Amino acid sequence: MSEVDELIAWSMEPLPEALQQLQPQQQLEVLSWAKNLVGHETEGLDDLYKAIGMIVKYIPNFMVIPLMVEHIRPRIAAQVCIKMGIDLATGYANDLPLEYFSKISTHLDEKMMAQILTKMKRSQVEKFIIMALKEDPTRLLDIATHLERPVLEIVAKYVAFPEDESELAVSPHKAVIDKIRSLQ
């Protein structure tokens, strides 16, 4: 992945038209400047996320969850989850309100989400899958690529693919779609 592609994926926004009109070398200079600026402004945040992850493991969930939901934005909560690891993050994921957990999940990579879903309570996983199918089925397919069979069976229980096979035949998710279909 090129540096330009990496920054575009990070921002979740398309490259502005003004930058598209610049020569590739000029684009890299502007993007490098932006990356340095962001790095300077966010210096130390990784340490903060790690510290929060270490602190909250000593506070009972029933106290942490309401504080998280009310005071911590999902992007920050996701970064804390990354630093605390799968097992501890799963403990919180089981107790978080579904809407909040869903927002956090958009900031976690597909592989980590699959690992968390694999360890979560089945009832919570089912609720998440139903919501994800309504909100962003493509993202769910991205996650499903990394799911183990038991959770993939839950996905298969709730997903419905269109009758028209031509669209699915060229889908970048064809392999996981076929896997899910084999479980239906």
* Residues 127/91, Cβ–Cβ less than 8 Å: no
User: Can you spell out the DSSP letters for 19-54?
Assistant: HHTS-HHHHHHHHHHHHHHHHHHTTTHHHHHHHHHH
At 84-140, the pLDDT tens digits run 999 999 999 999 999 999 999 999 999 999 999 999 999 999 999 999 999 999 999
pLDDT at residue 171 in the model:
77
* Global confidence as pTM: 0.79
Contacts of 101 (CB under 8 A, 6+ apart): 93, 128
What is the pLDDT confidence band of residue 170, given thresholds at 50, 70 and 90?
low
**CA-closest candidate to residue 56, choices 38, 79, 35:** 79
Q: Is the pLDDT of residue 19 over 90?
A: no
Going from N- to C-terminal start, the domains of the chain cover 38-108, 110-184
What is the pLDDT confidence band of residue 166, given thresholds at 50, 70 and 90?
low
At 26-83, the pLDDT tens digits run 888 888 888 888 888 888 999 999 999 999 989 998 999 999 999 999 999 999 999 9
Residue given tokens 């919501």 in the structure block: 131
